Amino acid sequence: MKIDFIELDLKWQKEMPLCELRLWIVHEISNYGYPLRWAVTSSKPSQDGSCRKVKIEALVIFS
C-alpha cells in the first residue's frame, strides 16, 4: 500500500448544484486511488463563464 499526493484541475459545470459537489469531487479523486484527505485550494470562473475551475489537492492510497 502506498500514499501519493495529487493535484487535479476540475471543471465544475453550472448545472451541478452545490449539494452534489462533494460527491463529485470524491468520485473524481477515486479514479487515482482511495481518497485519504483532500481540499479545494482554489475556485475561479472560467474565461467564458460557462463553468468554474476548481483546484483539488489530495492524498490517495493505492496498491
CATH number of the domain at 40, please.
Answer: 3.30.1660
Handedness of CA 38, 54, 31, 13 (dihedral sign): positive
Does residue 26 sit in helix, strand or coil? helix
Number of domains in the chain: 1
* Domain coverage including residue 49: 2-62
- pTM of the predicted protein model: 0.91
Q: What is the pLDDT along the chain (63 residues), one digit of tens a residue?
A: 999 999 999 999 999 999 999 999 999 999 999 999 999 999 999 999 899 999 999 999 998
Q: Please name the amino acid found at residue 33.
A: G
pLDDT of residue 46: 92
Contact 55, 6 (CB under 8 A): no
pLDDT of residue 51: 95
pLDDT of residue 63: 82
